[in-house]
């Protein structure tokens, strides 16, 4: 195989000019020795055209004498690299001038950036860069992969290199296409959430380093659910895509937009303080408001609400930036549609957030350490004031032994999705009591999440062993608001409980908006009247009317009634005359420790 040069040189490095003995030794170790008059088995013996093969796969080869800055190319170099003449790339400096500016340092860094030859094979390198065969001012370029090895001189500096260059246009653009798909949202063509978050982190770090403010805003498309319900999700997607395009058109160069979630876009604004952030938000809102969106269904319009935060002054981590922007967006959406709100630090909100974190940690710790406890409050029969069943009230035991009422942590547990775990532990404790006290009847509250949790029902069946002598002594209480949130689901939950043998009660009735028709559909056994209608019943005529009406209707449906918050004998007497089935409140006893059951009629 020969290389075209003046004078021509053999591709076999043993006959190439080399001023370094070490390099020559390395070359000899790699290239087979040349025997005068011998036939090269890879060329003449088999008739292989190596130059033709290289050209067919768009490859060429070179030897670079770094000391003299001379590059000897294979004879197909001009054809593969598309240069006007091989003399245009006859030196390292000339070749370097044809590398795209953004990749100038890749080749020099790979060869001159350090490293030593570990053995006679030299130091390998492999780089990719954009090559401009007609000069940097030309718009024509190709992508190439350059890989080879270099050898040092006596001082350890690169003295000679040889390698192969391959054109990788198709592969490069395929890789870029796949990379684009992994980085960008398929619907809108903007950055996806992962890449948006990474870009946000980079801008935040730069802002902290340079002390130049930047802003992050989240824009949400308003009333998208109405569009989805009316025209379908395809049209909703068209609206999302159009809004993304409108926002992109109104952005400054260097700013970044990405799709944060279904109808939300995150926008990173570089070198942007509070005033500029508001101006940008107003610009985006006006652009979307004025845009006419042509969908497959009809011509539509849209509006957006925006919340924003300035960094790093108002947020020092990516999580805080996003959280504060979402808080501001939530305020904007509650104020009115098509509105911008900037984040405002709130000591009260931050205190509440820290308190919620502490409560969540306490709840998880108590569950892990088996420090949840039950206390029991009696429900007495109105006729004789004797306990008929006990309501299980949850307490959390702190590490120091003090008990904390459920009212101090259960609301936060529900908000953070921990109520399922709490309800599962409460069920275990209640069933344990029923098994150890054969005459005991209990009432147990469950959260709204549990009323849709099939696994909780499975756990109930497993814990009771399916024995009706256990389940028939258990009443499950669901709140009125949870019952009407998804009526069909609540009906299924109630029916399943009754099939297992449990009774079901509606708790806090009157605090929500349940109609008596829905009450009938639920087919519950008991209605617990909210204590707000009980505590002043002896003085409030409207409460008296409500109680009497409730008792009459419950009787019509075959349901028992419970009056909560009974605090004195006068209230108990009035409720008894009104026909209430059971009474519950401090007048009939404070919540009992489980150990005190031995002194009760059901101990």
C-alpha to C-alpha distance for 28 and 22, rounded to whole angstroms? 10
User: Is the residue at 23 inside a domain?
Assistant: yes
* Claim to verify: residue 193 and residue 121 sit in the same structural domain: no
Q: What is the DSSP string of 371-434?
A: -EEEEEEEEEETTT--EEEEEEEEEEE-TTS-EEEGGGTHHHHHHTT-HHHHHHHHHHHHHHHH
pLDDT of residue 556: 87
| Phi, psi values for residue 388, rounded to 5° | -105, -35
User: Is the residue at 296 inside a domain?
Assistant: yes
* Claim to verify: residue 360 and residue 330 sit in the same structural domain: no
Question: What's the DSSP call for residue 99?
Answer: B
* Claim to verify: residue 195 and residue 143 sit in the same structural domain: no
C-alpha to C-alpha distance for 221 and 518, rounded to whole angstroms? 35
User: Is the residue at 328 inside a domain?
Assistant: yes
Report the side by side order of strands in the sheet with 214-221.
Answer: 256-261, 264-269, 214-221, 304-311, 340-342
- The SS3 call for residue 206 is helix
Question: What's the DSSP call for residue 252?
Answer: P
Task: Chunk the chain into consecutive blocks of 10 residues (it has 603) and report each block's average pLDDT, rounded to whole numbers.
Answer: 36 38 38 41 54 79 93 92 92 90 80 65 87 81 90 87 87 58 76 88 90 94 90 92 93 89 92 94 95 88 94 92 94 88 85 87 94 94 94 93 90 88 95 93 91 90 94 92 78 93 88 62 88 91 91 89 94 95 92 71 51
C-alpha to C-alpha distance for 141 and 130, rounded to whole angstroms? 7
* Claim to verify: residue 501 and residue 423 sit in the same structural domain: yes
User: Is the residue at 603 inside a domain?
Assistant: no
| DSSP strand pairing (526-529 vs 560-563) | parallel
* Claim to verify: residue 238 and residue 205 sit in the same structural domain: yes
* Claim to verify: residue 102 and residue 188 sit in the same structural domain: no
Reported for 431-437, long-range contacts at CB under 8 A and 24+ positions apart, including other chains, are 431/460, 431/463, 431/464, 431/470, 431/474, 433/374, 433/392, 433/594, 434/464, 434/470, 434/473, 434/474, 435/470, 437/597, 437/602, 437/603
User: Is the residue at 179 inside a domain?
Assistant: no
- 0.85 exceeded by pTM: no
Buried-state track 409-433, b at ≥16 Cβ within 10 A, e below 16:
bbebbbeeebbbbbbbbbbebbbeb
pLDDT of residue 40: 46
Which among 313, 345, 377 is the end of a domain?
A: 345
* Claim to verify: residue 407 and residue 524 sit in the same structural domain: yes
Q: What is the DSSP string of 498-565?
A: HHHT-EEEEEEETSS---HHHHHHHT-SEEEE-GGGTTTTTT-HHHHHHHHHHHHHHHHTT-EEEE--
- CB contact at 8 A, 396 and 599: no
> What residues form DSSP beta bridges with 165?
60, 146
C-alpha to C-alpha distance for 221 and 224, rounded to whole angstroms? 6
Closest CA to 122 of 6, 216, 31, 252: 31
- CB contact at 8 A, 321 and 308: no
C-alpha to C-alpha distance for 290 and 264, rounded to whole angstroms? 19
* Claim to verify: residue 145 and residue 249 sit in the same structural domain: no
**CB-neighbour burial class of residue 190 (10 A; exposed 0-12, middle 13-18, buried 19+):** buried
pLDDT of residue 121: 77
- CB contact at 8 A, 452 and 486: yes
Which among 318, 345, 372 is the end of a domain?
A: 345
pLDDT of residue 461: 94
pLDDT of residue 411: 87
Closest CA to 426 of 480, 357, 479, 363: 363
Identify the domain containing residue 260 by its residue range.
Answer: 184-345
User: Is the residue at 302 inside a domain?
Assistant: yes
pLDDT of residue 62: 94
* Claim to verify: residue 203 and residue 164 sit in the same structural domain: no
Give the number of domains in the chain: 3
In Å, how far from its chain's centre is CA 403? 36
Place of tokens 């009696």: 378
The CATH number of the domain where 39 resides is what? Answer: 3.30.450.20
pLDDT of residue 288: 94
Q: Which two tokens stand for residue 279?
A: 């101006």
The CATH number of the domain where 267 resides is what? Answer: 3.30.70.270
User: Is the residue at 350 inside a domain?
Assistant: no
- The SS3 call for residue 469 is helix
Closest CA to 103 of 139, 86, 127, 80: 127
| Cβ contacts of 416 within 8 Å, gap of 6 or more | 356, 360
* Claim to verify: residue 390 and residue 301 sit in the same structural domain: no
Closest CA to 55 of 85, 87, 72, 77: 77
| DSSP strand pairing (387-397 vs 403-405) | antiparallel
Which among 296, 312, 345 is the end of a domain?
A: 345
* Claim to verify: residue 150 and residue 196 sit in the same structural domain: no
* Claim to verify: residue 167 and residue 194 sit in the same structural domain: no
Cα end-to-end span (Å), the chain? 102
**CB-neighbour burial class of residue 85 (10 A; exposed 0-12, middle 13-18, buried 19+):** exposed
User: Is the residue at 540 inside a domain?
Assistant: yes
């Amino acid at each position: 195989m020969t290389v075209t040069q003046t004078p021509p040189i053999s591709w076999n490095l043993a006959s190439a000019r080399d001023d370094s003995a070490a390099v020559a030794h390395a070359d000899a170790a790699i290239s087979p020795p040349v025997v005068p008059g011998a036939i090269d088995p890879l060329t003449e013996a088999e008739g292989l055209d190596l130059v033709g093969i290289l050209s067919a796969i768009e490859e060429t080869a070179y030897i670079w004498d770094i000391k003299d800055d001379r590059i000897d190319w294979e004879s197909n170099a001009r054809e593969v690299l598309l240069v006007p003449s091989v003399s245009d790339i006859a030196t390292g400096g000339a070749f370097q001038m044809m590398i795209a500016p953004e990749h100038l340092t890749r080749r020099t860094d790979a060869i001159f950036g350090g490293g030593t030859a570990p053995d006679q094979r030299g130091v390998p390198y492999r780089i990719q860069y954009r090559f401009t065969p007609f000069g940097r001012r030309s718009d024509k370029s190709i992508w190439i992969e350059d890989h080879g090895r270099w050898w040092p001189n006596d001082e350890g500096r690169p003295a000679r290199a040889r390698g192969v260059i391959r054109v990788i246009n198709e592969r490069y653009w395929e890789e870029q296409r796949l990379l684009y798909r992994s980085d960008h949202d398929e619907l809108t063509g903007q950055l996806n959430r992962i890449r948006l978050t990474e870009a946000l982190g980079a801008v935040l770090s730069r802002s902290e380093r340079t002390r130049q403010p930047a802003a992050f805003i989240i824009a949400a498309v308003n009333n998208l659910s109405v569009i989805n319900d009316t025209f379908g999700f395809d049209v909703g997607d068209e609206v999302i895509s159009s809004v993304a395009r409108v926002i992109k058109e109104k952005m400054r160069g260097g700013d970044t937009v990405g799709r944060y979630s279904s109808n939300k876009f995150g926008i990173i604004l570089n070198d942007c303080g509070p005033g500029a952030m508001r101006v940008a938000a107003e610009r985006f809102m006006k652009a979307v408001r004025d845009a006419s969106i042509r969908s497959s269904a009809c011509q539509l319009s849209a509006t957006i609400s925006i919340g924003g935060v300035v960094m790093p002054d108002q947020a020092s981590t990516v999580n805080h930036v996003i959280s504060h922007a979402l808080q501001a967006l939530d305020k904007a959406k509650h104020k009115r549609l098509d509105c911008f709100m900037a984040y405002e630090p709130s000591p009260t909100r931050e205190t509440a957030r820290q308190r919620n974190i502490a409560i969540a940690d306490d709840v998880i710790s108590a569950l892990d350490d088996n420090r949840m406890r039950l206390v029991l409050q009696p429900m007495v029969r109105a006729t004789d004031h004797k306990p008929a069943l006990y309501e299980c009230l949850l307490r959390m035991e702190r590490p120091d032994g003090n008990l904390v009422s459920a009212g101090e942590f259960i609301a936060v547990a529900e908000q953070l999705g921990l109520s399922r775990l709490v309800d599962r532990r409460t069920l275990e404790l209640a069933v344990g009591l029923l098994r150890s006290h054969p005459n005991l009847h209990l009432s147990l509250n469950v959260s709204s999440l549990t009323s849709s949790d099939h696994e909780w029902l499975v756990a109930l069946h497993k814990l009771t062993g399916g024995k009706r002598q256990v389940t028939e002594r258990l009443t499950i209480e669901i709140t009125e608001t949870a019952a009407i949130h998804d009526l069909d689901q609540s009906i299924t939950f109630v029916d399943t409980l009754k099939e297992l043998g449990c009774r079901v009660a509606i708790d806090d009735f009157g605090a929500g908006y349940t109609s008596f028709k829905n009450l009938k559909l639920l087919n519950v056994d008991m209605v617990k009247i909210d204590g707000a209608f009980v505590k002043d019943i002896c003085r409030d005529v409207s409460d008296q009317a409500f109680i009497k009406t409730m008792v009459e209707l419950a009787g019509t449906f075959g349901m028992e009634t419970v009056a909560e918050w009974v605090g004195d004998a006068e209230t108990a007497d009035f409720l008894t005359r009104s026909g209430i089935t059971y009474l519950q409140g401090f007048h009939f006893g404070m919540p009992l420790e489980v150990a005190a059951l031995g002194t009760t009629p059901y101990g």
